[in-house]
Structure 1
Amino acid sequence: MDPILAGLIGIACLFLLLGLRMPVAFAMMTVGFFGYWALEGLRSAGGVLLTESYSAVANYNLIVVPMFVLLGNIASASGFSRGLYDAAFAWVGAFRGGLASASVLGCAVFAAVSGSSVATAVTLGKVALPEMKRLGYSNSLSTGSIAAGGTLGFLIPPSTGFVLYAILTEESIGRLFMAGVVPGLLLTALFMAAIWIVSYRDPKAGPRGTPVPMREKLSHLAEAAPLLGVILISIGGIYLGVFTPVEASGIGAALVIVLALVRRRLSFDNFKEAVRSTLSTSAMLYTIVIGANVLNPFFAITRIPATLGEGLGALDLGMYGTLAVIILAYVLLGMFMDGLSMLVITIPVFFPVITALGFDPIWFGVIAVIVIEMGMITPPVGLNVFVVRGVAGDVPLATVFRGIWPFLIAMIIALLLIIAFPGIALFLPNSMFG
């Protein structure tokens, strides 16, 4: 069988299996194994399945994921997330849409300990949505701000998206983490600007909160200081070269556990549930990495990535025209696939094209993650939208989707700025590594 034809059949089968609701990890393993078998024989396919599965699980850098997930779960179980939200509200709650802005700030900070978009949306949603409802915020603004703020968990380090991208492309996790810091802060600021504009146009959508005295502001900040300190130690330690991302994840998780125990905020049952949730999330991610490692050799021998690169080159669109086509493909896929699935399936195909065009692979990692973030809040899938809808309870799904449009515009602006000024993403990693 012609390798390219086999590759196209494999891609079609992959989407068919995903459409039949087979978990993405097993869909990739199935297509990768049987596709390799069809082209190279059963013995070679068995060897790929065995060796790639082992090498994926044995990858030392993947330890970052369970450690940072555990950090986020312990912070949530011990109530530190509530302290973050209260501190953010104390400082920005008196502005238009202040409660929604506090939610976005809380999401940004919690993203720096959880690394998960869904976990960020669920944790802050449970805290913030009842408060916004009590103060008369519109359902669209309150749910939209949480759904959009949750996506910051995929961009602000530690990010599972960056870890997967690094594994798939053999790029530095540390550089990717640093590359996500400034874009994450930029996107947070743009989200808050979007909230202010919505609240300015419709004051009833996001009423001002009661001003908080400076003494109370400082008190709330002191309450959140321990967790903020853990974030500074973890991320700052990576930037200063004191320890690696893997070491930072272990140190961060250990510090949060110690803080929770010292403050007597962590019961044995809560600790057990946090560990169980961490194991579940980590097992899911490890299985996805195994699936990607089995699928990629099949794609390699079909020459699909190389053929795609040649095809895009033949269109003579130029560097940025080709980039626009790739971004459009991500946007379309994001309407039907979740972020992690899209990342592991597309990166082996698009990454060779991007590097051949001369784009910086770290910079493209940021671009890919932001576009995938957009998919998390766009219909019809919009995973974060469904998560927030579940937390909100009585809010119609259409209302949540209506609330995300100002934030999608903010994401597009952030994307265009990073494309126009690559230094936004590359300044920190370049200064870190000289």
Structure 2
Amino acid sequence: MIVYVSVGLLALLSLSIPVGIVLFLLGIGIDTFFSPFPLIRGLGNLVWSSSNSATLIAIPFFVLLGEILVRSGVAARTYSALDRWVSWLPGGLVHANIATATMFSATSGSSVATAATVATVAMPQAERLGYDPKLFSGAIAAGGTLGIMIPPSINLIVYGFLTQSSIPQLFLAGLIPGIALALCFGLITVLICLVRPELGGDRRFFPFAVMLRALLDLIPILLLFAMIIGTIYNGWATPTEAAAVGVAGALAIAAAFGGVSLKMLEQSLLGTIKITSMIMLVVIGASFLNFTLASAGLGNELRQFLEGLGLSPLSFILVVVLIYVVLGFFIETLSLMVVTIPIIVPLVVEMGYDPIWFGILMIVLIEMALITPPVGLNLYVVQGARKDGTMAEVMLGALPYVLVMLVMAMALIAFPQIALFLPGAL
């Protein structure tokens, strides 16, 4: 059955069938060939139960928040302001890509939305200033991955929903690793550009007065982040309610900058509907697939296989890391999460690991999948924003940042307190 699921998944994805539909087709196939009971009869009830959750309402709110910031021009102002502060480093404007992605991640909750935002704003600058297309576009793709690590994160909400873990604790756990990854992205960029200065373009210096004025454009994003996270950790709002508060705050900021219009609202709502529909189709399809897998006994098969290996907890977690790295080459990230969590997480917890910690480790591995071919979504998003060049350039440019993520994954395994310090302290 494991072979059927693996081959079937890759074969259907290679036909460019939408991921959500692929998951339903696999579930129906398992029901037909491996289950003694007609599981398809429970599909209606399963669709309702898997989508009828107040926690999942946070997803369209966070997507809408990001759409408003992009389409109102707030994201472009943020990029321009950070350009004034970080472009003096070796690598120049590449650091503005990473810094903007970091700040936007603190409000959008989506890696794809973050990468699309920064790519749309930054790519014209790269072409105008003559930056190396590989490093410049690779940094955008990598910076975009921070959208699912730095809170609020849609993927962390899905993980908390599927594992019944505390979403506020997951948000706290992702903060230090997310910021550390952003700093490491900047560090590897500096090292690359010290060795190969021609890759980074010209370093740009601005008068201190100009830098101070640029801070005014950063204040709205910082206030929005404080509003969302503050209402959660002060106990004033659930993550879902905080997302709604964030949407109201984003509208207020857009209005203050004169970016609110009927067309902007229409585009933001339409974009939200498209992205949310895609996410929910994947979540519901994966729920049906997991239901059929469990009913057909695949979970027990995998459990027996892993337990039969007789691995120590450390060896086990390294095998899990390897599984996610390999699967990340071929499976879309959200699908990878919702398909594997019901099988892997119980085994991880049995081995004595904290589910909050493992959630952050999984997100790092999922981030790697976003920028590794052939299915890395951020690679396609960034390539789509370019006027010319090849996909291979984006892939090569993202490679150093993949190595940084792998180092971060190993650091989380060696020092779990990187993720668990803030949840334990607060």
**TM-score, length basis structure 1:** 0.93
**Aligned equivalents of 2:368, 2:323: Cα separation in 1:** 12
Describe the SS at the equivalent of 2:198: coil
Name the residue aligned to 1:365: 359
What root-mean-square deviation, in Å, do the aligned CA atoms of Structure 1 and Structure 2 show?
A: 1.8
2:186 equivalent to 1:192: yes
- Structure 1 residues 249-258 or 164-173, which shifts more? 164-173
Name the residue aligned to 1:122: 116
Name the residue aligned to 2:20: 25
Shift of residue 249, structure 1, vs aligned partner: 0.3
Shift of residue 36, structure 1, vs aligned partner: 4.0
Shift of residue 71, structure 1, vs aligned partner: 0.4
Q: How does 1:145-224 map to 2 (within 5 A)?
A: 145-224=139-218
Distance 1:34 1:337, change over 3 A: closer
Shift of residue 227, structure 1, vs aligned partner: 2.1
2:376 equivalent to 1:382: yes
Alpha carbons 1:34, 1:45 under 8 Å: kept:
no
**Aligned equivalents of 2:259, 2:164: Cα separation in 1:** 39
Q: What amino acid maps onto 1:118 in structure 2? A: V
Name the residue aligned to 1:55: 49
- Structure 1 residues 279-288 or 239-248, which shifts more? 239-248
2:105 equivalent to 1:107: no
Shift of residue 250, structure 1, vs aligned partner: 0.4
**Aligned equivalents of 2:385, 2:114: Cα separation in 1:** 12
Total equivalences in the alignment: 425
**Aligned equivalents of 1:289, 1:380: Cα separation in 2:** 22
Alpha carbons 1:157, 1:178 under 8 Å: kept:
yes
Alpha carbons 1:156, 1:177 under 8 Å: kept:
yes
Q: Percent identity?
A: 37
- Structure 1 residues 100-109 or 23-32, which shifts more? 23-32
Q: What amino acid maps onto 1:29 in structure 2? A: F
Shift of residue 408, structure 1, vs aligned partner: 1.3
Alpha carbons 2:132, 2:201 under 8 Å: kept:
no
**Aligned equivalents of 1:12, 1:188: Cα separation in 2:** 36
Shift of residue 167, structure 1, vs aligned partner: 2.0
Counterpart among 312, 318, 321 of residue 306 in structure 2: 312
Counterpart among 425, 431, 434 of residue 425 in structure 2: 431
**Aligned equivalents of 2:124, 2:116: Cα separation in 1:** 13
Shift of residue 238, structure 1, vs aligned partner: 1.9
Shift of residue 12, structure 1, vs aligned partner: 4.4
2:39 equivalent to 1:39: no
Gaps of 5+ in 1: none
Counterpart among 66, 81, 88 of residue 82 in structure 2: 88
**TM-score, length basis structure 2:** 0.95
Cα deviation, 1:386-428, whole Å, max 9, x if unaligned, reads 2211212212222221111211121112111111111111122
**Aligned equivalents of 1:145, 1:408: Cα separation in 2:** 10
Shift of residue 257, structure 1, vs aligned partner: 0.8
Name the residue aligned to 1:274: 268
Distance 1:139 1:16, change over 3 A: closer
**Aligned equivalents of 1:162, 1:28: Cα separation in 2:** 21
Gaps of 5+ in 2: none
Cα deviation, 1:77-110, whole Å, max 9, x if unaligned, reads 1111112112211111111113111110100111
